[in-house]
Structure 1
Amino acid sequence: MKPLKGLILSGGKGTRLRPITHTSAKQLVPVANRPVLFYGIDAMAQAGISEIGIIIAPETGEEIKEVAGDGSQFGVKITYILQDEPAGLAHAVLTAEPFLGDSPFVMYLGDNLLQGGIDDLVAKFKQGEPDALILLTPVPDPEHFGVAELDGERVVALAEKPPEPKTNLALVGVYMFMPLIHDAARAIEPSPRGELEITDAIQYLVDNDKRVEPHIVQGWWKDTGRLDDMLEANRLILDRMESRVEGSLDSESAVEGRVVIEGGATLTRATVRGPAIIGKGATLTDCYIGPYTAIGEDCAVERAEVEHSILLAGSSVRGLDGRMEASLLGRNVHIARSVGQPKAYRFMVGDNSDIGIL
């Protein structure tokens, strides 16, 4: 088998994470203070894949290029591939064909997280050399995913977001293909929603007696397209972090449990209870940071309590009477209690925001 290449899909509009994704690619929203996209690149690098193509959209492509660069920070070479319109995963495969050529490849959705990486899966794919290897996991709401029907160790049918799923086995956002998938993608027609579905392309392989093998994922998998999933992914990543304190703490501050405090962060009369991560240059004053919280670089928390939340770079939370929890703040968002009279709530809120009042 030829060396595998990697294909990471980082187009898409991220409508379920608005308003954060009005101004940033959903694949760059951080989990444990690191863009989601980086975890997919890391997984490929650790599996020995050195050439990676990243599908980008016109709206967010430049931002992704700027953050991920040429791949040298990951030990890989990155090629950027522009997909003019979000016309489906199989369309993305065809768009990437000039880069992929006749190489087998791993396709990874850039907003997905998979526990344990893909080393074992790549080894299994190389050993068995099926025409496709698809990852599956049981989910409680299969109607929101691509769904596979099995007969023993054989995939017999696939459907994209079926209204009445026949199984609860959802396709995880990682696939392994032989170059034959390009012919399959050319052979299918757009779905009712106007996209070339990867499930239809894989079904084409099945219908033409090609070997499509399933692999049931044992660990966790997260599609980080929604707030709850982002917070859960943040929790899962923080849970396996190792403690590291490089910032400065005064004598009245306390750090409990697994906590990372990056260099340049300062804690004054602050308590951080892990798992949690505090980014570079953040300032915590007279505050409590609870478990499963990621505070981005240059953030400020003062006279407030924050738990199970994600704060992006440059945000601040000050003077809250109650605890802020299960929240995601975008870049440079400022939440504070006004000291003026009369007492009133004042907001400037973007489209598709969601605010809960104490």
Structure 2
Amino acid sequence: MKALLLAGGTGSRLRPFTHTGAKQLMPIANRPVLSYALDALAAAGIAETGIVVGSHEREIRRVVGDGSAFGLRVTYLRQHRPLGLAHAVRIARDFLGDDDFLLYLGDNYLPEGVTGFLRRARTERAAARLLLTRVADPTAFGVAEVEGGDEGRVLRLEEKPEHPRSDLALVGVYAFTAAVHEAVRSISPSARGELEITHAVQWMIDQGLPVRAETTAAPWRDTGSVDDMLEVNRHVLDTVTGGIEGKVDAESTVRGRVLVAEGAVVRGSRITGPAIIGAGTVVTDSMIGPYTAVGEDCRIEDSAIAHSVLLPGARIAGAPRIEDSLIGRGAVVVASPRLSRSHRLVIGDDSRVHLTS
């Protein structure tokens, strides 16, 4: 079985970060989101993976390479415009051939992986198999109506319905046979100008092809927003094993599961885990954590930061309290004369912010 991994979307909900980089390369615990998807594919026994890329192809190629670092063989497939998931399947036709394949959204985070899902797709083969999860607001998702409740034959799919027939949302993981290729050729663009994979699957249902679903109760996020990014970062940091590979001076305190990467320096500071301090970062007279991931080559001085993600090259100085924040590459946050007790920041790459007192 092959995999088709989608990494060509624009990431509009993560702007301004996605003006300058791919959303699939945003860091979770100092690793790109896409890395977790590639790990999951390799763990499930998939060898050949096609990655659908868009305008950020060069950056994704630089991170993923030929896929060998992940135990995969990677082929890049260029989608010149984001015209929908079914369109991505169309352009991958030659790569996929007549093989069964897994369709996986590259900004998804599934801590349980896809090993069990793929095993069932192989042993209980259907034209399409969908992974679902229960959500509080189904109107924001593609929604499935399933015979018998939450496992079994899919009766109907709707894309962001005004009046949902169920609370079962499509997670963004699908297993298909070659039957899907006729489906994606047979549908027309939706009102938003895209070829919707939900329409293709509904076409298969209407043709009498077997479409089945299973439901997961495991945590799932599409990391498409700042809040989702921070939540996934917290989840992954809970699994990180600590270790001091860099330099921590005698005036500093490190408590809990903290990873200080080789080349990082901590001086006169308190680090509370779970937390990661990236390579080349210098932390001075500051308090970091919990649930904070600091990227490579950052500078933090006389500041307190918790429940946040700092991308590489960020600089924070004189910030009395930063929480629940996402700080972009090369961004600068420095204190202004007046003191504020707490700040929540969403700052794009190479930004500069002066905090008021």
Which band: TM-score by shorter chain?
Answer: over 0.9
CA distance in 1, matches of 2:323, 2:79: 37
CA distance in 2, matches of 1:244, 1:170: 39
State the 1:350 CA deviation.
6.4
| Cα offsets for 1:288-339 (capped at 9, x unmatched) | 011111000011111000001100001011112x310111111111111257
Match of 2:42 among 42, 45, 70: 45
- The question of whether the paired residues in 1 share the 8 Å contact of 2:329 and 2:348 is answered with no
CA distance in 1, matches of 2:39, 2:178: 23
Match of 2:9 among 7, 12, 18: 12
Bigger drift between 258-267 and 222-231 goes to 258-267
Residue number in structure 2 paired with 1:216: 215
Residue correspondence of structure 1 range 201-280 to structure 2 within 5 A = 201-280=200-279
- In the comparison of the two structures, how many residue pairs are matched? 344
- The question of whether the paired residues in 1 share the 8 Å contact of 2:101 and 2:176 is answered with yes
Change (3 A) 1:154 1:271: same
Tell me the TM-score normalized by structure 1.
0.93
Residue number in structure 2 paired with 1:195: 194
Identical residues among aligned pairs (%): 50
Instruction: Spell out structure 1 runs of 4+ moving beyond 3 A.
Output: 355-358
Residue number in structure 1 paired with 2:53: 56
Gapped regions of structure 2 (runs ≥ 5): 339-346
Residue correspondence of structure 1 range 1-358 to structure 2 within 5 A = 4-57=1-54, 59-152=55-148, 153-320=152-319, 322-338=320-336
- Secondary structure of the residue that 1:210 maps to in structure 2? coil
CA distance in 1, matches of 2:237, 2:214: 26
CA distance in 2, matches of 1:28, 1:290: 23
State the 1:266 CA deviation.
0.7
Bigger drift between 145-154 and 29-38 goes to 145-154
- Secondary structure of the residue that 1:114 maps to in structure 2? coil
CA distance in 2, matches of 1:294, 1:357: 25
| Cα offsets for 1:139-192 (capped at 9, x unmatched) | 111111111011112110001111221211110011111111111111111111
CA distance in 2, matches of 1:208, 1:266: 62
RMSD: 1.8
CA distance in 2, matches of 1:143, 1:228: 19
State the 1:357 CA deviation.
6.5
CA distance in 1, matches of 2:274, 2:348: 31
CA distance in 2, matches of 1:211, 1:257: 50
Residue number in structure 2 paired with 1:343: none
Change (3 A) 1:245 1:159: same
Change (3 A) 1:134 1:350: closer
- Secondary structure of the residue that 1:113 maps to in structure 2? coil
Change (3 A) 1:199 1:246: same
Tell me the TM-score normalized by structure 2.
0.93
Gapped regions of structure 1 (runs ≥ 5): 341-348
- Secondary structure of the residue that 2:132 maps to in structure 1? strand
